[in-house]
Amino acid sequence: MAASTLAMGGIVLAAVNAVLLAVLGAVWVHNYRQFGSAMVLGLVAFSAALLVENVVAVYFFFDSMHMLYASDPVVGGVVFVMRLLEFVAVGLLAAVTMR
């Protein structure tokens, strides 16, 4: 039960990360159109790559990877911790961007 709870927590964090990245991507696209900076274009590419990664993680969890997460409690814990670290990083980046 704990493994599936941790795995589900990881997937929830992946979905939250995807939403944050979509918002950040929209802000950075707006900024790129306004300023045309290569740095901002890099941020747009960064958000797009991580957004795709998180959406694919959620898709695979519900489509086929659920059995992998459910079968090994260590995997569920690792997935949760990695998604939590990503959430902290994206959250900090969002806080700095929105200032």
CA–CA separation, 10 and 77 (whole Å): 8
Distances (CA, A) of 69 to 5, 26, 55: 10, 32, 17
What are the boundaries of each domain within the chain? 2-98
Q: Across all residues in the chain, what is the average pLDDT?
A: 88
Closest Cα partner for 58 from 86, 39, 92, 30?
Answer: 86
Helix (H), strand (E), coil (C) string for the chain: CHHHHHHHHHHHHHHHHHHHHHHHHHHHHHHHHHHCCHHHHHHHHHHHHHHHHHHHHHHHHHHHHHHHHHHCHHHHHHHHHHHHHHHHHHHHHHHHHHC
Q: What is the pTM of this model?
A: 0.86
Inform me whether the pLDDT recorded for 12 exceeds 70: yes
**Digit-coded pLDDT (tens) for 16-62:** 999 999 999 999 999 999 999 999 999 999 999 999 999 998 888 77
